[in-house]
Amino acid sequence: MESDPLLNRCPGENTKAGDYVEYLDPGAQPCAPCQAYPPRMQADGKPLVIGLLSNLFADASVFLNDLRVPLSELFPDVEFRCYDKGSVQRMSFVVADDTRDSVIAECDGVVCAYGHCGSCTSGTTQDVLAFAHAGFPAVALVTEKFRDEALFLARAGGIPDIPFVFLPHPVAGKPAEYHQALARAIAPAIVEALAQGRVANMASASLAVRN
Amino acid sequence: MRARNEQAAAEALAVAGKTDGLPVVVPTPERVEEMLLNAGNLPPDAVLGSLLPLGGALTVEKAAINAVMAGCSAEIFPWVIAACEAICDAAFDIGPLQSTTHCVTPLVIVNGPSRYDYGFTSGVQALGPGQRANATLGRALRLILINVGGGVAGIGDMATLGSPAKFSCCLAEAEEENPYGPLHETLGFQTGDDVVTVIGVEGPHSLLFTLENFPGNEEALLRVFGAGFANPASNNIYFGNSAMVAVFNPFHMRILHDKGLSRRDIQERLYDYASIRRKDFEAIVGLNNANMSPQKGEILRAAARPEDFLIMVAGQEGGAYSVYFPSWGGGVRGQHAVSKKVRLEQGCEVPDSLR
């Protein structure tokens, strides 16, 4: 076989100016253009209604329920409404249109829980993206194991700065006392996410519980 | 993009996370151009679809670049395009497949009268090393899922362990050994069509069954298959909502045919045998994922319908092994086959085997 002196040159060898191989990029860019995350939950002195949207992953509904007490302490006169995605088969998909519309019509903000596996992190992130695209305040709860995936999906979905509150992994299967302590620890971050559209220190609350 | 030489270009692609970890053929403009000659009347910027989770647009050119990297011969590019169209079909639900912690991956099944002319194989080691067309078509799809779909390990692909099948999982059917007609015919295509079928599956599981003839061996063979599909270690018995693939070797298929079973008979028996009594299931699994199963009643089934068992033939004559592919079961619809016709008549190159 005839050798090509250019192609067979080892790395580090000197190359003459103009000696190079051109090649094409196999990758693609996200189709969704980037936009800012604008929604903020407005108190306006009236009682707030917060939606609790469960994807039905193990203990997700239980954990959302545990958020009621600490959130009530931070939001006086708050009411809660519970929703779910219908079945475990739907946890990896975006929330159904009718459920999304009900949440928007009946609530002032929504907590989506939780990203605890690969596909359900995708589904939970898509839920918050769907609410954000509708201009509705939402926050995603995702365990730390799936942080990189969640942030990647937010960028791919066109709104990189949707708010996340990251939880220690795992949450499912932990005792009730642990759930309650974790709920209390992250409640301020949820309030911050819904009211200000961001979470300044996404790791601090969960670390406090883990330690 | 530019690099000092091919080795540096290949290294740059690997460092950028744009490979499957194995060495790739550098996609130079000349090689991609040659691949595109086999795209028929599809222009390079034609969009075949988009792939989640990244949501990148899969153009014909991006498919060609990744096919070059996978080592595809240019002549099989029409088959790559058909496979791309299949995974982009909304019915395939690629987003959850990419993101899940499960090891699910697209199985590519090649059917049609032209398949052998293009080098696809259905016999010995059809799923193993040494079969270039099979290996590179499956690999091209994986590179496309990484590069266009964002299925990068730990970011867009969260599989707990992954699977060797995620590098490539492709075989042709031994249609001539299937007395019931080829798989694609049962999926609505003509026998003379060339077709690529994809379905999200676990890797192949081996099935051992004797070569000896004994009374009732046809039922025993199907019970063994059924027990495999209903294995509590796999997802199907939990969700019961997806299609699965039974790949009979030619000898095992003849056992069933010689005993007078029809394809529908086989599917109905698999539906019956791929089941377990709830109390027996719970005695094995305890509370494992008990809250995940939407199934009701005293009998749990791996499938919702007999037709969810896809029946095909492949493998070496004379072995005692067949193969079955469980699936994942996640997603709203579960996993089902999506098939696309290959547009060979629009290709520009005659395969080497026909020259």
Test mutation, B30, B36, B68, B99, chain A, max A CBs within 10 A: B99
Report the DSSP beta bridge partners of residue B51. Answer: B56
SS3 category, A135: coil
Backbone φ and ψ of B255, nearest 5°: -55, -45
ipTM of this model?
A: 0.90
Query: Tell me: the pLDDT tens digits for A150-170?
Result: 999 999 999 999 999 999 999
At residue B29, does pLDDT exceed 80?
yes
Cβ of B5 and A121 within 8 Å?
A: no
d(CA B6, CA B58): 25
Are B167 and B207 in the same domain?
no
Residue B133 lies in a domain: yes
Taking the Cβ of residue A87 and every Cβ of chain B, the question of whether any pair is shorter than 8 Å is answered with yes
- In terms of residue numbers, what domain contains B223? 203-326
Whether pTM exceeds 0.95:
no
Taking the Cβ of residue B41 and every Cβ of chain A, the question of whether any pair is shorter than 8 Å is answered with no
Taking residues A8-16, report their average pLDDT.
43
pLDDT confidence of residue A10: 38
Are B162 and B258 in the same domain?
no
Nearest residue in chain A measured CA to CA from B97: A119
Taking the Cβ of residue B105 and every Cβ of chain A, the question of whether any pair is shorter than 8 Å is answered with no
Are B140 and B210 in the same domain?
no
Cβ of B99 and A27 within 8 Å?
A: no
Residue with tokens 């070496």, as numbered in its chain: B316
Contact residues on chain B for A11, CB-CB shorter than 8 A: 4-5, 7-8, 11
Taking residues A17-22, report their average pLDDT.
79
Residue B252 lies in a domain: yes
Query: Tell me: the pLDDT tens digits for A68-95?
Result: 999 999 988 899 999 999 888 788 889 9
- CB-nearest partner of A26 from B7, B18, B28: B18
Q: How confident is the model at residue A180 (pLDDT cuts 50, 70, 90)?
A: very high
Taking the Cβ of residue A124 and every Cβ of chain B, the question of whether any pair is shorter than 8 Å is answered with no
β-pair type (A109-115, A79-84): unpaired
Residue B185 lies in a domain: no
Q: Which of B201, B218, B246 is the last residue of a domain?
A: B201
pLDDT confidence of residue B346: 63
Q: Per mean pLDDT, which range of A17-21, A174-178, B164-168 is the poorest?
A: A17-21
Taking residues B102-120, report their average pLDDT.
97
Min CA distance, B164 vs chain A (Å)? 19
At residue A11, does pLDDT exceed 60?
no
Is residue A202 within 8 A of residue A189, CB to CB? The reply is: yes
SS3 per-residue string spanning A144-181: HHHHHHHHHHHHHCCCCCCCEEEECCCCCCCCHHHHHH
d(CA A6, CA B335): 48
pLDDT confidence of residue B76: 97
Q: How confident is the model at residue A1 (pLDDT cuts 50, 70, 90)?
A: very low
Higher pLDDT, B295 or B212: B212
pLDDT confidence of residue B294: 66
SS3 category, B303: coil
Higher pLDDT, B7 or A6: B7
Are B286 and B228 in the same domain?
yes
Are B170 and B212 in the same domain?
no
For CA atoms A139, A145, A146, A152, the dihedral sign is positive
pLDDT confidence of residue A3: 37
Q: What is the mean pLDDT of chain A?
A: 86
Nearest residue in chain B measured CA to CA from A119: B100
Query: What's the helix, strand, coil split of chain A in %, to 5?
Result: 40, 15, 45
pLDDT confidence of residue B319: 83
Most confident of A22-31, B219-228, B284-293: B219-228
β-pair type (A79-84, A49-54): parallel
β-pair type (B244-248, B321-325): antiparallel
pLDDT confidence of residue B6: 95
Are B168 and B210 in the same domain?
no
Cβ of B155 and A93 within 8 Å?
A: no
Taking residues B85-113, report their average pLDDT.
96
d(CA B343, CA B42): 10
Taking residues B90-112, report their average pLDDT.
96
pLDDT confidence of residue B318: 77
pLDDT confidence of residue A199: 78
d(CA B100, CA B83): 21
Min CA distance, B294 vs chain A (Å)? 8
Cβ of A21 and B58 within 8 Å?
A: no
At residue B345, does pLDDT exceed 80?
no
At residue B307, does pLDDT exceed 50?
yes
pLDDT confidence of residue A38: 81
Contact residues on chain B for A32, CB-CB shorter than 8 A: 55
Backbone φ and ψ of B235, nearest 5°: -75, -30
Min CA distance, A10 vs chain B (Å)? 8
How many angstroms from the chain centroid is the CA of residue B333? 17
Query: Could you tell me which of B168, B199, B204 has the C-alpha nearest to residue B303?
Result: B199
Query: Tell me: the pLDDT tens digits for B239-249?
Result: 899 999 999 99
Are B150 and B243 in the same domain?
no
Residue B182 lies in a domain: no
Are B42 and B104 in the same domain?
yes
- From the CA atom positions of chain B, what is the Rg in Å? 21
Cβ of B8 and A10 within 8 Å?
A: no
Are B197 and B256 in the same domain?
no
pLDDT confidence of residue B330: 83
Residue B334 lies in a domain: no
Cβ of B8 and A21 within 8 Å?
A: yes
Residue with tokens 């009701």, as numbered in its chain: B296
Nearest residue in chain B measured CA to CA from A95: B332
CB atoms inside a 10 Å sphere around CB B289 = 14
User: In CATH, which of 3.40.50.360, 2.60.40.10, 1.10.260.40, 3.40.50.2020 is domain A49-210?
Assistant: 3.40.50.360
At residue B68, does pLDDT exceed 70?
yes
Residue B156 lies in a domain: yes
Q: What is the mean pLDDT of chain B?
A: 93
Taking the Cβ of residue A156 and every Cβ of chain B, the question of whether any pair is shorter than 8 Å is answered with yes
Q: Per mean pLDDT, which range of A38-42, B26-30, B123-127 is the poorest?
A: A38-42
pLDDT confidence of residue A90: 84
At residue A8, does pLDDT exceed 60?
no
Taking the Cβ of residue A135 and every Cβ of chain B, the question of whether any pair is shorter than 8 Å is answered with no
Cβ of A118 and B239 within 8 Å?
A: no
Are B222 and B197 in the same domain?
no
pLDDT confidence of residue A47: 86
Query: Tell me: the pLDDT tens digits for B249-304?
Result: 999 999 999 999 999 999 999 999 999 999 999 899 887 765 566 677 899 999 99
Is residue B151 within 8 A of residue A153, CB to CB? The reply is: no
Are B55 and B152 in the same domain?
yes
Min CA distance, B5 vs chain A (Å)? 5
Higher pLDDT, B87 or B295: B87
Residue B344 lies in a domain: no
Are B215 and B144 in the same domain?
no
**What's the structural domain count of chain B?**
2
CA B85 → CA B17, B49, B109, distances in Å? 24, 7, 14
Contact residues on chain A for B156, CB-CB shorter than 8 A: 149, 152-153, 156
Query: Tell me: the pLDDT tens digits for A115-154?
Result: 999 999 999 999 999 999 999 999 999 999 999 999 999 9
Would you tell me which residues 33-72 of chain A have a C-beta closer than 8 angstroms to some C-beta of chain B?
58
d(CA A122, CA A85): 14
d(CA B140, CA B148): 11
Residue B187 lies in a domain: no
d(CA A189, CA A167): 11
pLDDT confidence of residue A16: 54
